[in-house]
Amino acid sequence: GSTGRTDLAGAGHKVALARAQHASARRLAAELPPWTWICPTHGFGSFCSATAPVAGPAMVPVPGPSPDPPAGTALRPGGGASTMGAELQVNPALTTGETEYVATTLAGLDDYPAYYAQMGPANLAGPPAPDLSAPPAAGPQELGRRVRSGEWVVDLRPRPEFADRHLHGTLNFGLGPGLATYLGWLIPWGTPVTLLAREPADIAAAQRELARIGIDRPAAAAAGDPQDWAAGAELEQFATADFAALARESDRRPLIVLDVRRRGEWDAWHIDGALHIPLHELRGRMSEIPLGEIWVHCQAGYRAAIAASLLAACGRPVVAIDDEFSRTRVAGLAGAGLAG
């Protein structure tokens, strides 16, 4: 399995907590029989995970009772349920010594969402049940006023739809698994949020996700078509492309290529000549980006769409690369990094 990060209580505790994590896993392995089901709450891909999962056998048979796994779980590899017997063969806390385990865990620590700082106090206080009733409806004039006043008006539509037509100054956080993580990470805490979507059901789904991280109540919402939100005002758009198009265009002229992935992703492999500003730092580092058209990319397109909307809202010309980063080499883009 992957290892949990140990810096969430503060950097000063990360070494002691890594050692405690190693000792805790060893104690459980000594006390529990090998057929005991292990059902982690989350694994690699969560920002609470410090390292990638270690490849290993899928559910090696062990002697003893073998009841069905809990409903809704999946067998390793793949991030779901496992058994103590299987973990004894592959889990870093059980296969490496304390010194190596601590070093590997600390080396895997990267930035984590800013809203994590709000979770501890909220959990200790015991937040009340969220109000999931429909937010107040906002018309075109109110939407424009909220944008101009610096509030966040968030368009939940898929990124191709947003790029094609959107209301000036709105930000694209597509409804899906990344919504709460990245919206909660980037927004100045306490800023009013207005939600835009095609269907009221999408607004309700986003409202529920945001309530789980402490954004308890949208200020307003509007469902329908972007033309309705604009009330005749001109809608905006920006171009999208793939890495093959980036390679072709970069052969013709110098380009500003902006990589908004996290530090560990950049270190592993990045495009030669790209500017690296992680998405969660972008709002505070806009001045570092040269003038001109910005080709922005991430690992799979979701973060690039957010970045493109932030840049477009500031009046910067932008092209959002909606493509898998693994295709950079197929496209012939030169790069460098630890994975080279």
Encode pLDDT of 292-304 as tens digits.
999 999 999 999 9
More confident residue, 224 or 216: 224
Dist CA 48 CA 56 (whole Å): 21
Exposure on the CB side of residue 191, measured as CA atoms within 13 A: 19
Q: Which of 96-110, 120-134, 169-183, 278-292 has the lowest mean pLDDT?
A: 120-134
Residue 9 confidence class, pLDDT cut points 50, 70, 90: low
pLDDT at position 121 over 80: no
Question: pTM, whole model, 2 decimals?
Answer: 0.72
Q: Summarize the chain as % helix, strand, coil (round to 5).
A: 40, 15, 45
Q: What angle do the packed helices 98-107 and 14-31 form, to 10 degrees?
A: 130
Q: What is the pLDDT of residue 273?
A: 95
More confident residue, 201 or 84: 201
Q: What is the chain's length? A: 340
Q: Which of 72-86, 99-113, 224-238, 273-287 has the lowest mean pLDDT?
A: 72-86
Residue 205 burial (10 A CB sphere; 0-12, 13-18, 19+):
middle
Dist CA 143 CA 208 (whole Å): 22
Residue 7 confidence class, pLDDT cut points 50, 70, 90: low
As given in the structure block, the two tokens for residue 198 are: 């095609």
Kindly provide the residue ranges of all beta strands, DSSP E only, lying in the chain, ordered along the sequence.
37-38, 82-83, 152-155, 171-172, 193-197, 220-223, 239-241, 256-259, 270-271, 275-276, 294-297, 318-321, 335-336
Residue 35 confidence class, pLDDT cut points 50, 70, 90: confident
Q: Which of 36-40, 122-126, 265-269 has the lowest mean pLDDT?
A: 122-126
Q: What is the pLDDT of residue 93?
A: 87
CB count, 10 Å around CB of 301?
21
Q: Which residue has the tokens 């907590």?
A: 17
65 three-state secondary structure: coil
Pairing of strands 239-241, 294-297: unpaired
Question: Are 93 and 60 spatial neighbours (Cβ–Cβ below 8 Å)?
Answer: no
Q: Which residue has the tokens 């140990």?
A: 6
Of the chain, the percentage scoring pLDDT greater than 90 comes to: 59
Q: Which of 92-96, 171-175, 289-293, 299-303 has the lowest mean pLDDT?
A: 92-96
The answer to whether the bond into 65 is cis (omega within 30° of 0) is no
Q: What is the pLDDT of residue 21?
A: 87
Of the chain, the percentage scoring pLDDT greater than 70 comes to: 80
Question: Are 222 and 196 spatial neighbours (Cβ–Cβ below 8 Å)?
Answer: yes
Sign of CA dihedral 18, 23, 26, 28: negative
Residue 49 confidence class, pLDDT cut points 50, 70, 90: low
pLDDT digits (tens, 9 = 90+) for 220-267: 999 999 999 998 889 999 999 999 999 999 999 999 999 999 998 999
pLDDT at position 115 over 90: no
Residue 155 confidence class, pLDDT cut points 50, 70, 90: very high
| Across 9-38, average pLDDT | 86
CB count, 10 Å around CB of 137?
11
DSSP-assigned letter for residue 33: -
More confident residue, 135 or 50: 135
Quote the mean pLDDT of the chain: 85
More confident residue, 62 or 266: 266
Q: What is the pLDDT of residue 336?
A: 92
Q: What is the pLDDT of residue 46?
A: 54
Q: What is the pLDDT of residue 333?
A: 96
DSSP-assigned letter for residue 153: E
Q: What is the pLDDT of residue 120?
A: 67
Compute CA distances 233 → 16, 96, 204, whole Å: 58, 62, 27
| Across 10-26, average pLDDT | 85
pLDDT at position 11 over 90: no
Element (H, E) at 313: helix 302-313
Q: Which residue has the tokens 């010194």?
A: 99
pLDDT at position 78 over 50: no
187 three-state secondary structure: coil
